[in-house]
Amino acid sequence: MHSIEFRVAPQSGGGQGRGETPSAVEFLVDGIPFLELVRRAELPDAFAEQQERAAEFAPDPVPLLAGAYAYPALLSARNLLGGEPDRVPHGAERGETLLLSCTCGIDDCWALTAHITVTDTTVTWSGFRNNSRDWNHDSLGILAFSRPQYEQSLRAALDALSALRS
């Protein structure tokens, strides 16, 4: 069983031009930011794409897109507890939940989805998929968490985020 921590973290960039730093709920799996785990999983496919597209971008370097996501600014407990997703990015399949969105803030642009399965005792993330690339995310495996610990951490982070936005 993996451990998960949800915590409020600032996102890069400003908040609607008012000098604010928008916040989002960040996920840590076994103490490692989920974005880092995804970046590691995507590196082989991203490097291959980078090499394939070198001529297209020359003389500029090809961007390395591995892990090029942000935590969604809007997130609900229902979404992360296997309920009907609040938002479904373009290309998502039935039953997929948005976990990470594009750094530009538009979910349809670039997103990571997964299936979330909830039982009385566990919450499981599986079937990770990028909506824009057919990259292999198998190295992420199946992430199973204790439901009580998951819910406690998620609710605390969402409450903290709500308080910041009030």
Task: Encode pLDDT of 66-100 as tens digits.
Answer: 888 988 876 767 778 877 666 666 566 677 888 99
What is the β-pairing status of strands 122-130 and 143-146?
antiparallel
Q: Is 118 exposed, middle or buried (0-12, 13-18, 19+ CB in 10 A)?
A: middle
Confidence of residue 14 (pLDDT cuts 50, 70, 90): very low
Average pLDDT value over all residues in the chain: 83
In this predicted structure, the answer to whether residue 19 has a pLDDT above a threshold of 50 is: no
pLDDT of res. 124: 96
**SS3 at position 24:** strand
Name the least confident of 72-76, 114-118, 123-127.
72-76
pLDDT of res. 39: 94
Contact 2, 30 (CB under 8 A): yes
Bridge partners (DSSP) of residue 9 are 24
- For residues 112, 145, 9 and 161, what is the CA-based torsion angle, rounded to 10 degrees? 100
Please state whether the peptide bond connecting residue 59 to the residue before it is cis, i.e. omega within 30 degrees of 0.
Answer: yes
Structure tokens at 130: 């990028």
Nearest-angstrom CA–CA distance, 133 and 66: 11
Q: Where are the domains of the chain?
A: 4-165
Handedness of CA 137, 139, 142, 143 (dihedral sign): negative
Confidence of residue 110 (pLDDT cuts 50, 70, 90): confident
Q: pTM here?
A: 0.84
The answer for residues whose C-beta is within 8 angstroms of residue 143's C-beta and 6 or more apart is 2, 4, 29, 124, 125, 126
